[in-house]
């Protein structure tokens, strides 16, 4: 079944496309090596024409037909098609907007009015209008690295072609050759996605926060392909450190989904010990921490037991990276996130905190798995790490550096979450200084959590509104790989041609591996506000594995009301809170298997 969908902005995207689970016997008999997918497809009609190469009606004609829904089928009717024309001096071209960022490709249906073959066209996919107007390897960094987003293809005389696999919202189509006329019946974007319900929800009296929660949810949803990627344009890979905020969003919005264990198993199987996952020591720690959180939210003991051998081996390997004085000695790539990558002091502090976090989580999991001796060893190492880490935190607080310099807030957040620095001190001296300056999309989640642990819920909500909300103000429909509040002055929106005198927010900014157009505008690690708002504002916190015990303790701050749902293995918890005469009135509905504490 085919469905054509129009999208504008970030929508819930609840489609009802089914997947045929049965393969024809002829195929199964002919080929035993068959890989199936859990993904569905939907076909999106363009919502607007962003740009065309001329307005004379000579080279681009009847473009309005592209805004009508198609059926994906060629026919013998050649009337009223969209035409691109070229001559010796000019080539027809057009830019289409499909309404929001998606993962997938493009479908073009041609008509009988063409020559055979119809024509060659250059197709460019872009996350922004400026990217779709760019050249590969131009000074602003446009690439064909992990997804071919700029290519020339030959269209059939009378038929349908599907092409491309990338993350995009905009498509530019140019005639590639001179003295050509092309007749097109319809053009659709092919959206590839998991057809799963949004079991978690969040609504409050601030519509900006509602949009941010949903944008974070959708950012992760679109990255839930056959595996859980970090980005749909780049890198389209399983980066296990990036997965932690994504998995917390999955837990909060979708509940159980096979894409999480499938991705965790892939990175485990491709990283035999003593290797570091993705070559980064902290990322092996994140794998361990994800295993702990996945068990707490989903309660799948059988899956945890399948990790027993690798998990215990990893813990023993991590213990060898702790010296006699309790200082971590992690090798490999010592990395937190890109904005902190040049701050050695911040990285050292963050890795000490992560190692402590790993030992505490390791102790918990080992007790569940019956590894009592290893649990005791983890507890012993945690004590040493904590003692050394608290001294390290005292030195960290005395550093004479700008409190919002790159990497400072990252280290402070992890020190606070590990209990090595008082959360109130981390918030006052680092996290709340100069608002969202010094925040990053990945570690912003942990900065927000540390602010909440300090009791600064309103301050954290203000950062969410300012930092993540600014991306929405610039036309984003998914959250970006990186963002800096200092990029805002005189910046253009991503959904328009860059006006004269404005800065190109996509092409002119970015750093490290994501300079210019290589910068991903859909990165799952940026979804932190979604689980944060559900945990701290809606107030839902899991206390016992499998959501057997859940605490509900809301913090509305300046909000008048908040309501929402939260997925558990037994069904959804539904909660509403309302400020009445300075007090919070709460209503709760929960499955009988879940114990609610206040």
Q: Which of 125-134, 365-374, 400-409 is least confident?
A: 400-409
Write the pLDDT tens digit of every residue in 95-105.
999 999 999 99
Beta bridge partners of 175: 121
Q: Could you tell me how many residues make up the chain?
A: 598
Q: Cα-flanking dihedrals φ and ψ of residue 93, to 5°?
A: -155, 155
* 236 token code pair: 């389209």
- Does this model's pTM top 0.85? yes
Rounded Cα–Cα distance for residues 218 and 498 (Å): 26
Write the pLDDT tens digit of every residue in 295-338.
999 999 999 999 999 999 999 999 999 999 999 999 999 999 99
Where do the domains of the chain lie, and which CATH numbers do they carry?
A: 4-193 (2.60.120.260), 214-527 (1.50.10.10), 546-597 (no CATH)
Given its phi and psi angles, is residue 234 left (phi above 0), alpha (psi -120 to 50 degrees) or beta? beta
> Within its chain, how far is the Cα of 383 from the centroid?
35
Residue closest to 135 by CA, chosen among 120, 146, 119, 151:
151
* pLDDT number for residue 7: 44
Question: What are the angstrom distances between the C-alpha of 499 and each of 126, 476, 490, 492?
Answer: 18, 18, 10, 7
* 593 token code pair: 């298997």
Rounded Cα–Cα distance for residues 555 and 452 (Å): 9
Contact 483, 467 (CB under 8 A): yes
Write the pLDDT tens digit of every residue in 337-386.
999 999 999 999 999 999 999 999 999 999 999 999 999 999 999 999 99
Contact 101, 222 (CB under 8 A): yes
Rounded Cα–Cα distance for residues 181 and 265 (Å): 51
Rounded Cα–Cα distance for residues 177 and 9 (Å): 35
* 449 token code pair: 């959590």
Q: What percent of the chain has pLDDT over 70?
A: 96
Rounded Cα–Cα distance for residues 279 and 6 (Å): 41
Residue closest to 325 by CA, chosen among 378, 387, 234:
387
């Amino acid at each position: 079944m085919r469905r054509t969908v129009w999208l504008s902005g970030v929508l819930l995207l609840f489609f009802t496309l089914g997947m045929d689970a049965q393969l024809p016997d002829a195929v199964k008999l002919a080929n035993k090596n068959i890989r199936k997918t859990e993904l569905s497809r939907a076909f999106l009609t363009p919502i607007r024409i962003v740009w065309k190469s001329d307005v004379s009606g000579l080279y681009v004609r009847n473009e309005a037909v592209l805004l009508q829904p198609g059926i994906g089928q060629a026919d013998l009717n050649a009337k009223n098609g969209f035409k691109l024309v070229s001559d010796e001096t000019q080539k027809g071209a057009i830019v289409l907007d499909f309404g929001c960022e998606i993962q997938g490709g493009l479908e073009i249906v041609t008509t009988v009015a063409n020559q055979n073959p119809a024509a060659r066209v250059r197709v460019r996919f872009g996350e922004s209008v400026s990217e779709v107007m760019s050249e590969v390897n131009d000074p602003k960094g446009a690439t064909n690295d992990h997804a071919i987003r700029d290519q020339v293809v030959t269209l059939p005389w009378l038929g349908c072609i599907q092409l491309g696999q990338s993350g995009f919202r905009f498509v530019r189509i140019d005639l590639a050759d001179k003295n050509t006329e092309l007749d097109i019946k319809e053009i659709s974007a092919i959206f590839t996605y998991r057809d799963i319900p949004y079991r978690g929800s969040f609504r409050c009296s601030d519509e900006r926060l509602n949009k941010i929660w949903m944008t974070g949810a959708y950012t992760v949803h679109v990255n839930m392909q056959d595996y859980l990627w970090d980005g749909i344009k780049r890198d389209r890979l399983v980066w296990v450190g990036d997965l932690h905020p994504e998995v917390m969003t999955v837990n909060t919005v979708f509940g159980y989904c096979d894409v999480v264990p499938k991705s965790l198993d892939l990175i485990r199987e491709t990283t035999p010990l003593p290797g570091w996952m993705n070559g980064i020591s902290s990322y092996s720690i994140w794998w361990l921490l994800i295993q702990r959180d996945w068990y707490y939210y989903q309660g799948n003991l059988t899956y945890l037991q399948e990790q027993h051998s690798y998990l215990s081996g990893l813990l023993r390997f991590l213990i060898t990276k702790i010296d006699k004085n309790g200082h971590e000695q992690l090798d490999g790539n010592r990395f937190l996130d890109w904005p902190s990558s040049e701050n050695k002091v911040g990285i050292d502090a963050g890795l000490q905190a992560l190692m402590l976090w790993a030992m505490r989580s390791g102790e918990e999991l080992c007790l569940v798995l019956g590894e009592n001796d290893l649990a005791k060893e983890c507890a012993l190492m945690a004590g040493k790490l904590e003692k050394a880490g608290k001294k390290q935190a005292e030195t960290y607080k005395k550093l004479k550096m700008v409190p919002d310099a790159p990497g400072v807030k990252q280290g402070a957040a992890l020190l606070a979450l590990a209990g090595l620095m008082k959360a109130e001190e981390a918030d006052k001296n680092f996290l709340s200084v100069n608002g969202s300056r010094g925040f990053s999309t990945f570690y912003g989640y942990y900065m927000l959590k540390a602010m909440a642990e300090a009791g600064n819920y309103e301050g954290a909500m203000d950062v969410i509104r300012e930092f993540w909300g600014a991306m929405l103000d610039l036309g984003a429909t998914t959250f970006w790989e990186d963002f800096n509040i200092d990029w805002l002055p005189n910046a253009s929106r991503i959904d328009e041609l860059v006006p004269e005198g404005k800065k190109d927010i996509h092409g002119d900014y970015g750093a490290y591996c994501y300079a210019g157009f290589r910068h991903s505008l859909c990165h799952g690690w940026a979804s932190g506000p979604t689980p944060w708002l559900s945990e701290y504002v809606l107030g839902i916190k899991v206390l016992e594995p499998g959501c057997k015990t859940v605490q509900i303790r809301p913090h509305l701050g300046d909000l008048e009301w908040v309501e929402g749902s939260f997925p558990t293995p037994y069904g959804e918890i539904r909660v509403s809170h309302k400020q009445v005469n300075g007090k919070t009135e709460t209503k709760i509905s929960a499955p009988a298997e879940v114990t609610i504490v206040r």
